[in-house]
Structure 1
């Protein structure tokens, strides 16, 4: 069902809708007409308010979980509220001080972990940070034969890191090809990131300047590729505060269990956060708007943070039930992202 545009709601319907949503986000329980008549200060009878709520339900903005129960916003209703009605409140001075105090001091890795923990504590949900992908620069590469069809690629980064990868090689590859491949990397690709090294190798081969025989060329390509692919499959996520979710939705433990399972899908969460990194501002995903959290009916509030060159390098956010205090959490996430950006600048 298409969500009714806010401009099509009467002032009375808009106000009733606002009170229903804000009351629901505060209590987590369906809201009845009698409650609205007391909270909203309407000069309307409960029967008149019920009629307005019925209209809002028919418009796809509210739902009644049980017969004779109150109403609660649908996902479409929450989206309309967030986009057109919600008035975000700036983080309080105490909240800003807490975030800044926890993030400052020590290496940036500590700040990223602290950002996730701070958001979790302040929002009573799970805090999540996607750490910038590390782009190691090559110093050298060595190849150690293991068997007729396998070799160990030993990759050494300029930062002193050493990583090993087992790669498949064509049976009968001569030892000289292993030496030649290692020498080429040290001479021609040292100091480059993996992406830059692969691009340089492709360019050298295309222009016939690689000075490698086919066996050595194949070894270099395999070594760089397996290291790059392994890094791409390994998104670095910091998730804190999953236990808060048990407190936030104790009445619906099945959904909490589902959400906790979904939080284990680090690769999928990284893809979701990657989509948030594409924009300049904080993004909000509500319930089934993202496939990952559709079953648990959860919401994600995520904001990108930037490195010293102004480019987006990661994302920080909150994951919790759709009954989030969006007006408070959205600016809190945004402020945390801004603080991280300043630290990395």
Structure 2
């Protein structure tokens, strides 16, 4: 958040500041006093406009690149504009139809999420991102079978038919009968539960003394379940599309920044953690430049909105990532509408 309220600027300064920001967001280029004087409506000479630009620069809202006599907004200035001056433009009927049509395509939910990311990229001319809902499969069966000495293979079969394997450490020389007992216990008593529910149920049974498992078998059960719970929590799935959009004509003058941004997008775990911070938001969140540590070096912005299932639970995040000159007024409501549409699909 900017520390300067918009009300601290007089009417003339606010109007010039608005014109500079909107001009920059439209072209990606610094805006000069002659351009502002020619825009009409200001009734000020270029010298008077330069004086106001200098004041705005002194307040930390504008900056003057060395290569240009024009001004562009700083990150602080963009934050002030977004929070206090921006007039959002609702998605057009054509954009709404495009979003709803893309999401209505038949196929698995993963395909719809990929389509959402690609569509946002097309509509924003930036990179589209979607964080996939964290999967919490319900158990149908879990088997623990011996491998080499000191290792076993835990095989999870979900109620949806999915199968996943994990290698876990076990005590040396452990009898196969102990592995079988642990497998049977899980399949018989925990079928139909999610992994967190299964772990909670085990611990309650152990604490109450109702569990018939001995210590070694109980430890195996917990290990066999915990390996998936921990893994799922540490592996949010992220779909990124449209990185090539970041290499536009304006980017040719700032290739190092673009290279840094593309490198950042390769670190999907860090990007997912950033998007995850938007899960608790009531509406679309905007991160500008150094406001988020991940994109501080590339000076990039993120517009992100959580999407919910029909029960109102947040299940993922959708958004766009691009340069700070993103068209915030157009993209904020578009990302919000996409999140709402995706939530209806998730069910």
TM-score interval, smaller chain:
over 0.9
1:246 positional shift: 0.5
Deviations 1:193-234 (A, max 9, x none): 001001111111111111111110111111111122222222
1:105 positional shift: 2.5
RMSD, matched Cα: 1.4
1:344 positional shift: 2.3
Aligned match of 1:141: 142
Secondary structure of the equivalent of 1:251?
Answer: helix
Deviations 1:30-89 (A, max 9, x none): 111111111252111111111111111111100111176111100000000000001000
Out of 299, 317, 320, the residue aligned to residue 318 of structure 1 is: 320
Aligned match of 1:201: 202
Deviations 1:102-138 (A, max 9, x none): 1112133222111111110011000001111111111
Question: What are the ranges of 5 or more consecutive residues in structure 2 without an aligned counterpart?
Answer: none
Aligned match of 2:189: 188
Aligned match of 1:92: 92
Secondary structure of the equivalent of 1:152?
Answer: strand
Secondary structure of the equivalent of 1:276?
Answer: coil
Question: What are the ranges of 5 or more consecutive residues in structure 1 without an aligned counterpart?
Answer: none
Contact 1:29 1:72 survives alignment (8 Å): yes
Secondary structure of the equivalent of 1:156?
Answer: strand
Contact 2:129 2:240 survives alignment (8 Å): yes
Whole-angstrom distance in 2 between the partners of 1:133 and 1:274: 11
Contact 1:4 1:60 survives alignment (8 Å): no
Give the direction of change, closer, same or farther, for the CA distance of 1:40–1:196 in structure 2 (3 Å limit). Answer: farther
Whole-angstrom distance in 2 between the partners of 1:96 and 1:238: 21
1:147 positional shift: 2.1
In the comparison of the two structures, how many residue pairs are matched?
345
Whole-angstrom distance in 1 between the partners of 2:208 and 2:253: 66
Secondary structure of the equivalent of 2:147?
Answer: strand
Whole-angstrom distance in 1 between the partners of 2:188 and 2:28: 63
What does 1:155-304 correspond to in 2, within 5 Å? 155-247=156-248, 249-304=251-306
Range 277-286 or range 105-114, more displaced:
105-114
1:2 positional shift: 6.3
Contact 1:284 1:299 survives alignment (8 Å): yes
Whole-angstrom distance in 1 between the partners of 2:177 and 2:32: 80
Whole-angstrom distance in 2 between the partners of 1:21 and 1:46: 18
Secondary structure of the equivalent of 2:277?
Answer: helix
What does 1:8-23 correspond to in 2, within 5 Å? 8-23=8-23
Aligned match of 1:116: 117
1:343 positional shift: 1.9
TM-score, normalised with respect to structure 2: 0.96
TM-score, normalised with respect to structure 1: 0.97
Whole-angstrom distance in 2 between the partners of 1:65 and 1:87: 27
